[in-house]
Amino acid sequence: MWRRFCDWLDARTGLVAFWRALLLVDIPGGAKWRYVWGRCLLVAFALQVVTGVLLMTGYSPGVTTAWGSVYFIQYEMDFGWLIRGLHHFGSQMLIVLLVGHLVVVVWLGAHLPPREFTWWLGLLALGIVMFMEMTGWLLPMDQKGYWATRVGTNIMGTVPVIGPWLQMLLVGGTEYGQHTLTRFFTLHVAVLPGLLVLVIFLHLVLVHRHGPTYFRAAPGTARFWPDQAARDALAFVGIFAILAWLSYQRHGAVLENAPPPESLSWYDRLAHAGQYGHGPPLLAPVDPQREYNIARPEWYYLFLFQALKYLEGPYALLGTVGIPVGTGLLLFVLPFLGWGRYRRFGHIAGVVIILALLAAATTLIALALWADYGPTESAERFRQEWHKEQERARRAVTLAHGGIPAEGGAELLRRDPRTRGRELFQLHCGSCHSFGSEIRPERPAAPGLQGFASSDWLRQLFEKLRDEKSLESQLMPQMASYVRRELDRARRADARAQADGKPATAQAELQRDWQQIADWLATHPRRAIPTEEAQRQAFDKEDSPFAQGYRAFEKRCLSCHTYNGMGGGDVNGPDLTGYGDGDWLRAFLHAPFDRQYYGPTLVRWSRNPKERVWMPAFRNSEDINAALWQRDWQRTLEELERLVPEDASDRDKRLAAMRQACRVVPLSELERELIIRFVLGDDRPVFGGEPIHP
């Protein structure tokens, strides 16, 4: 029955005869492992086509959508991490197999006449694959791919005469943008694969015409099926296993808010393994406005990257044009070295040349890797920068999990307090304030702000004010004097109590009050305090943390500070209503010299302006309310000037110092909000125009 079906199918299609012609080929000398390269290449290219088509089902080739679509493929789509991993590492394996195939061809002498065109088509295929690889770098629109592409196209632009024209043609103009991505996408998925299919077809036609070449064939023959076919199948199974293993390694960024793996089924854990770092790398979305100092091509281009380090200045053209063109011409003329009676010489010379080129390229790649990963200072700087990029990538994919704005993935980090807020803090605040161990000014001029307004931060502030030499004591001399005075009073009270044989509780009570005040202020209190006598008596008996904290605050602090319009006294310390929350910080940054904050302190400071650096205001000078804010600033300054006695001999100098201190640093609403959220540890990205209240 089966034979009759095959005869019927063959009579109408010829498929059976076609497969017999493919599988029942005689191999002189029998099956060999060195013959697997060519067919493994075909299957590897087929894998690239299949995975590429699958990736296209989720990819969106737009400047604002490309990174987000790749994120979706790797982190949200079932087994997207595996598909992208097979495509990513499979493309590199394609180059390895192609180079290995060319080396075996030269080793067997299959490049010699009459197979010149077969050899040249193989070289053309290598060039197409290398160029196709480069066009794929840009498609994710992440930092690494974007800057590697710019380096590659800039090198292309150094070619004499036609270089700038080729670069502009490829880029789509003078700027890298949507036209660039569209052209690279078209080249990568249509033009270059089509050319490669045509070259492979012509190559196979010539192989069939001239027949296979076998090296020192042993007597006898064997059929392709099943011995050689089994070797080919095992070789590709091994290749696929390597690609799957590479894809499963943790090359990607881990999603910080991914669900615990143990809470998922085995299918979900495997289908969404990309959320736990499995799969190829995906760095942060490209931001052309941000410096990227570690631009590197993929490892198979590192030989040229390393060679350019040695050929700088007037010799740069030798590296960008001379070496690639010279190597290509040398490989092109290899068949002519074995023309006629010089065939044996051409064979030996070809083997020597191809192995020498392979050794040179391998050495340069190894040197490039050593320069980045060896025990050197430059390598350490590279690793530090790479670590920062990985941190940005981790943050980007974590934010993307909550949604990507229409402006694109880059907007995630531009509006992220942990990323952009940190950068803005270091730029505008880091010259005076420290923040943990990462941001440390050379000469601190203000308190550190890590954990600002938390209970621990406030307790540490009280402790630092006890030390006369601390920065905090120098910045807040009146409060430091008060803290030390209270400590001395408590010590004397305990000493008298001990002398009278009574329990010494004053210092313990003082420490308890400070702890309650710190805990109370850490809640950013805004609750109104009852003023009617009956309600106030009930409040005084209340045992809630708020009531206890306020009573300690009223006892220890209200004589200087204000809360909801109460207190202040003659000192006029900063108003602590809602101290440390987002609203308090926004108003404070808008006018730190306002009377409700440090205005009175500024007046006292003006007597000796060299004592400290005064904090400026941070405002949007181009906002619609800029004129109103300018008028408000002028009114505030006039109020402060009235606090300076008119008969003071140094009045003019003090007024000038105050005006200089009350300077305004231009800062947009978005930038100010990012700094505030960074200081407060609020990691939510800022998407709206209005501040989001915690």
pLDDT of amino acid 443:
84
CA nearest 63: which of 131, 138, 150, 166? 138
Output the CA angle 190-124-358, nearest 5 degrees. 120
Q: Check residues 292 and 539 and name the one with the higher pLDDT.
A: 292
How many residues would you count in the chain?
694
Evaluate if residue 145 carries a pLDDT over 90: yes
Residue 521 in tokens: 């202020």
CA nearest 116: which of 318, 295, 303, 331? 331
Give one DSSP letter per residue of 207-241, joined into a string. Answer: HHHH----TTPPSSEEEIIIIIHHHHHHHHHHHHH
- Running DSSP on this structure, what letter comes out for residue 250? B
Q: Is 609 exposed, middle or buried (0-12, 13-18, 19+ CB in 10 A)?
A: middle
pLDDT of amino acid 29:
60
Domain over 34-213+234-389 is classified CATH 3.30.1280.10: no
- Record the pTM: 0.85
Separation CA 22–CA 29 (nearest Å)? 18
Mean pLDDT over each residue of the chain, to the nearest integer: 86
Neighbour tally for 530: CB within 10 Å: 13
Evaluate if residue 31 carries a pLDDT over 80: no
Of the ranges 87-101, 200-214, 294-308, 438-452, the best mean pLDDT one: 87-101
pLDDT digits (tens, 9 = 90+) for 233-265: 899 999 999 999 999 999 999 999 889 989 999
**H/E element holding 666?**
strand 664-666
Residue 560 in tokens: 């200087």
- Specify the pairing of strand 562-563 against strand 221-223: unpaired
Domain borders along the chain are 34-213+234-389
Separation CA 27–CA 389 (nearest Å)? 52
Evaluate if residue 692 carries a pLDDT over 50: no
What CA–CA distances, in Å, run from 469 to 443, 473, 573, 612, 618? Answer: 15, 7, 22, 14, 30
329 Cβ partners below 8 Å, 6+ apart?
none
By mean pLDDT, which of 83-92, 282-291, 565-574 is the weakest? Answer: 565-574
Q: Is 377 exposed, middle or buried (0-12, 13-18, 19+ CB in 10 A)?
A: exposed
pLDDT of amino acid 687:
79
What are the φ/ψ torsions at residue 566 (nearest 5 degrees)? -105, 150
pLDDT digits (tens, 9 = 90+) for 77-109: 999 999 999 999 999 999 999 999 999 999 988
